[in-house]
Amino acid sequence: MNTELTKRFLKYVSFDTQSSEEATKCPSTEKQFALAEYLRDELTAIGLTEVEMDEHGYVYASLPANADKSVPTIGFIAHMDTSPDCSGANIKPRIIENYDGSDIVLCKEENIVTTVSQFPELKEHIGEDLIVTDGHTLLGADDKAGIAEIVTAMTYLMAHPEIKHGKIRVAFNPDEEIGAGAHLFDVEKFGCEWAYTMDGSEVGELEFENFNAASAKILIKGCNVHPGYAKGKMKNSCIIASEFQALLPDNERPETTEGYDGFFHLTGMSGTVEEAQLSYIIRDHDSEKFQHRKQVVLDIAEKLNTKYGQGTVTTEVKDQYYNMLSQLQDKPQVTDIAKRAIEEACGFCNVVPIRGGTDGAQLSFKGLPCPNIFAGGLNFHGRHEFVPIQSMEKAMMTVVNICELVGLTPTLSKREGE
């Protein structure tokens, strides 16, 4: 067991860094600054250079090159915030050594149990050392495992100068969980030819395809009349809202899809007879299907307006992010190096599509090619989150392997110009 890596991770999860979707500032919560300041000081103490924390809590640092030739500058990125979906305060992690494959009792008093029947992925980690919660908070492996892996990889490289590498940049950002982590990321300051987010899940996974994403807000205006005299007059916005949902494909929801399947996800609904609101997220890997899904929402609104009167249903559809594959498919070196590094660390590499998005997707469209690599945690955003220490160790060695492999590789710009 890598005690340095484990100790570092346990320290990071002691910080409550839950972000907030309600905020209009960055970071969305002041408490994220506490971890940012700690990381700034830690990176300085371990000997990294160009350490800086900006006014929004973004932390940047460098490990100077030690190679005797020109080598690309690359970067590694992880986010500091945890999900608004579950409390991140007063996390009480526990290490289960040599996990035996049985159900894990998180809190005996309240009968909170992570069962193998509900979470069969536990079977893949029998014999490993698992870090779990006490059943009342999330763990924070998303993405403090990624931070711990990156920082520990930097100390490993400094302790092994025989591994030749170029300049390595690291960055830790706020607000990824609310989709804003890349918004104020300074790509020019970061100064990398490409980078990797350490924000994936199961060991051995590499992701460089993600959903195209949009949000949809539906506002429905009704007409309230005393129910005893409502015939031919009342227009119940809640009923119309239910009709809107019923007109969407029934088998294209998150709970019925997997792999490359897209979906419509109803994330919220509220209303009275007079007015109702529906909130959706729309997802698809395929850009043409993504455009079609957005049009489906608009077409349903028009159909209901024809039925109930123009202006009854109004829609606001906004794109959120796009599939990074379009930005990476002509840069095979970036993903090829990651595949080889993962294979050396894990014995295999499993390329999977992200059924979501990462900061890397937005950064790729800002000019920084940025695939996503596993960090090892599972069951993110809830009390059943856990991370095998051995998976974190393999992720940390993947970072080291990438740095070493890039040290043997010509620059991306040179390759493109060949």
- CB of 142 closer than 8 Å to CB of 176: no
205 is a catalytic site residue:
no
Tell me how far apart the alpha carbons of residues 309 and 285 are, in angstroms, rounded to a whole number: 35
Q: Is 176 a catalytic residue?
A: yes
- Number of C-alpha atoms within 13 angstroms, CB side, residue 262? 23
Token couple for 342: 């993962």
Beta sheet of 130-132, edge-to-edge order: 94-96, 130-132, 387-388
Residues 219/313, Cβ–Cβ less than 8 Å: yes
The one catalytic residue among 42, 81, 199, 385: 81
Q: What are the DSSP calls for 184-213, one per residue?
A: T--HHHH--SEEEEEEE-STTEEE--B-EE
Question: Taking Cα atoms as reference points, which of 341, 342, 385, 393 lies closest to residue 128?
Answer: 393
CB 263 within 8 A of CB 257: yes
Question: Do 323 and 287 touch, CB atoms closer than 8 A?
Answer: yes
CA distance 418 to 413: 9
* Token pair 């030690």 in the structure block, residue: 66
Among 350, 288, 296, 351, CA closest to 322:
288
DSSP 30-88: TTHHHHHHHHHHHHHHHT-EEEEE-TTS-EEEEE----SS----EEEEEE--B-TTS--
Spatial CB neighbours of 35, under 8 Å, sequence gap ≥ 6? 12, 15, 17, 80
Task: Out of 16, 129, 142, 176, pick the active-site residue.
Answer: 176
Q: Which active-site residues does the annotation give?
A: 81, 176
